[in-house]
Chain A
Amino acid sequence: MFKKNIKSAYIILAARAIVSCKKSTDTQPTPTPASQTQDLSLNMTSVADNNSINYTSIFTTDAGARYTITGFRYYVSNIRLVKQDGTEYPIANKYLLVNPAVASYDLGQVPVGNYKGIRFNVGVDSVTNHKDPTIYPSTNPLAIQSPGIHWDWNSGYIFLMFEGTCDTTAGNTDVLNMMGGFNHDLFFHIGMDMLYTPVDLSNSSFTINSSSAATLKIQANLNKLFTSVNIKTENESHTMGSVPLATKVAGNIPTMFSILP
């Protein structure tokens, strides 16, 4: 009886699998003719206001607090180009792990035309967030990274990871130590499904034409991440254990980004 159950279960499973495959091919959009598409890359740069970021300089928040950077990475996913009519062209299954050391991120072929802008999320969707990260080949941004950007103790990805040091003295009088850092750690590991953050850059028109590969320049201003965050006292969050601070920092994420001409 058990055996029979298993057998019929397998038949059903196989049938369902075929059906679901067929369905997914049916719903795929009709391929656009090759001449109508063009390769699009994102050029992702990071600044602290007017300065390019690096791992050796001292930076100053808009509130006047000094900090250094030792790491800054974030996931970009759910990328959609906003068409002139307001509808979206989704770039499916594309996950970028943005790192200041790498500027260019290929999005593949997209339809040529005029766009109102781009939308994406910082982080990964909840389904992907709770998948086993070991299933990806090491070249996939979702694979386990070195240094890591995935939590093992509360399984899920760190959506945005900022690490550095900050000067917590009242008069900004601390001097850099031998390691090139200030007296206090400054880190924000932002994650968890609830902080999967949408970014809307749909009021910066751009055109993708058929003659040459397109590049869209997106800048992240790190200082915007610290808007109304007093890093002299609010300087550590693993999200879990300090959700209010993580939520405040994540709330600043949409304001970080702008499209450059």
Chain B
Amino acid sequence: MIKKYNSYRQFKLLSVRVFLQSSLFLFICMINISCKKDVPINLQEINTKPYVLNIPNGFPYPDIPSDNPLTQDKINLGKQLFFDPILSRDSTVACGSCHQPNKNFTDNLTISVGINGRIGTRNAPSLMNIAYAPYLFWDGGNPTLEQQVFGPINNHNEMDYDVNKIVTRLLRHPTYPALFQKAFKEPPSVFALTRAIACYERILLSANSRFDDYLMNNDTNALTTSEKKGFAIFTGEKGDCFHCHAEYNFTDYSFRNNGLYSIYADSGRARITQKPSDYGKFKVPSLRNIEKTAPYMHDGSLATLADVVNHYNTGGKPSATKDFLIKPLNLTIQEQQDLVNFLKCLTDK
């Protein structure tokens, strides 16, 4: 049972797919660059010091947009911007306010808080291994890390500002213009700002848990008996968690209604697609470092991992779009505890 997943066999297929996708993307970009006379932004010579990602064992190489190769200078700049409240209207909220590194890039709040104490509508998602996400936000409404930058900046309940005004601030700043010049060979711009932050977010890779020791490094003593039992439930028919929390990052990036409610205050994916069949569906989150990212669900409504396991054990609340995989699991108290213990061994050392 356990041996089946020994090498994340799926990765091989996935990395080929990623290669093909990135080749196609490059191809399209090359045509664009070679034919278009008015290439809007000078893309050449901005990768001063190429940065090589430290890919965790068993992970594919993520898809990096051809107009935003990773460089150390861009990453440094992106990191500084990420933790700088200069991005918010009153300079009080930074990206890092809700995505805190010591909390696996979440804030441990039910719903995140923006400027003037304004309360948003959703739980801050983790940014770890976000380089692999095929879309952003709980409902998948944004396609790239670069464009995602606008989301929290524009949102009334988050930073409530305007990216063009941020650029004006950065142009007047004593140190930022030189940092942009170094990283992009141009002054601060919307293009460069979004690229820098995305570069920093792409290097946030992690797979350094006891579970990785157990699975990838063949350290059979890395997990306790209870954790191993929990893993068996996770991957087996009984729990069937692995169905959605699949592969190296413990998500298949699908949208599903997990039966949290019968009637949702937030329609989820349906807000984007307008399809009734997407009502109440949210992206399947990664489970890596899940111990550190309480509370859980898109609205932070479940406080602990025990609550989460209990929710799935009950089979959730009925609705037309509830995923057919969500059904009563009939786990014993001990089995639920084993599952919680397993989830905690996904925490990085």
Judged by a CB distance under 8 angstroms, whether A21 is at the interface is yes
A3-35 CB contact bits vs B (8 Å, 1 = yes)? Answer: 000100100011011101100100000000000
CA distance A6 to B22 in the complex (A): 11
- Quick one: which of B34, B147, B163, B165 contacts A18, CB cutoff 8 A? B34
CA distance A145 to B146 in the complex (A): 17
CA distance A257 to B95 in the complex (A): 44
CB distance from A83 to the nearest CB of B (A): 27
Which residues in window 147-167 of A have CB below 8 A to B? Answer: 147-148, 150, 152-155
CA distance A149 to B40 in the complex (A): 20
Judged by a CB distance under 8 angstroms, whether B264 is at the interface is no
Judged by a CB distance under 8 angstroms, whether B67 is at the interface is yes
Q: Which residues of A contact B30 (CB under 8 A)?
A: 13-14, 17
Judged by a CB distance under 8 angstroms, whether A70 is at the interface is no
CA distance A241 to B278 in the complex (A): 13
Which of B136-144, B206-214, B248-256 makes up part of the contact surface? B136-144
- Quick one: which of A21, A146, A150, A240 contacts B165, CB cutoff 8 A? A146
Q: Which residues of B contact A14 (CB under 8 A)?
A: 30
Q: Which residues of B contact A17 (CB under 8 A)?
A: 30-31, 34-35
- Quick one: which of A135, A144, A155 contacts B143, CB cutoff 8 A? A155
Query: Closest chain A residue to B267 by CB distance?
Result: A241
B243-271 CB contact bits vs A (8 Å, 1 = yes)? Answer: 00000000000000000000000010001
In the complex, how many residues of chain A place their beta carbon closer than 8 angstroms to a beta carbon of chain B? Answer: 33
CA distance A13 to B23 in the complex (A): 9
Which of B84-92, B188-196, B216-224 makes up part of the contact surface? B188-196
Q: Which residues of B contact A107 (CB under 8 A)?
A: none
Query: Closest chain B residue to A25 by CB distance?
Result: B35
**Once the chains bind, are A152 and B274 in contact (CB under 8 Å)?**
no
Judged by a CB distance under 8 angstroms, whether A132 is at the interface is yes
**Once the chains bind, are B272 and A135 in contact (CB under 8 Å)?**
no
Q: Which residues of B contact A148 (CB under 8 A)?
A: 150, 154, 162
| Chain B interface helix/strand/loop/mixed | helix
- Quick one: which of B31, B148, B272 contacts A152, CB cutoff 8 A? B148
Query: Closest chain A residue to B142 by CB distance?
Result: A155
CA distance A140 to B38 in the complex (A): 12
| Chain A interface helix/strand/loop/mixed | loop
- Quick one: which of B23, B34, B271, B274 contacts A9, CB cutoff 8 A? B23
CB distance from B88 to the nearest CB of A (A): 15
Q: Given A135-B191, A144-B164, A155-B141, is A240 in contact with B272 using a C-beta cutoff of 8 Å?
A: yes
Query: Closest chain B residue to A135 by CB distance?
Result: B40
**Once the chains bind, are B142 and A134 in contact (CB under 8 Å)?**
no
Judged by a CB distance under 8 angstroms, whether A243 is at the interface is yes
Judged by a CB distance under 8 angstroms, whether A143 is at the interface is yes
CB distance from A125 to the nearest CB of B (A): 16
Q: Which residues of A contact B272 (CB under 8 A)?
A: 154, 240
Q: Which residues of B contact A144 (CB under 8 A)?
A: 150, 163-164, 190
**Once the chains bind, are A133 and B164 in contact (CB under 8 Å)?**
no
B1-36 CB contact bits vs A (8 Å, 1 = yes)? Answer: 000000000000000000000010011001100110
CA distance A143 to B193 in the complex (A): 14
Judged by a CB distance under 8 angstroms, whether A130 is at the interface is yes
Q: Which residues of B contact A146 (CB under 8 A)?
A: 162, 164-165
Query: Closest chain A residue to B193 by CB distance?
Result: A134
Judged by a CB distance under 8 angstroms, whether B41 is at the interface is yes
CA distance A133 to B26 in the complex (A): 19
Q: A132-B144, A138-B189 are in contact. List 20 more A-B contacts (CB 8 A).
A: A13-B30, A16-B27, A17-B35, A135-B41, A135-B67, A136-B40, A138-B164, A138-B190, A146-B162, A146-B164, A146-B165, A148-B150, A148-B154, A152-B142, A152-B147, A152-B151, A153-B141, A153-B142, A155-B142, A241-B267
Query: 5 A-B Cβ contacts within 8 A?
Result: A134-B190, A134-B194, A135-B191, A152-B153, A155-B141
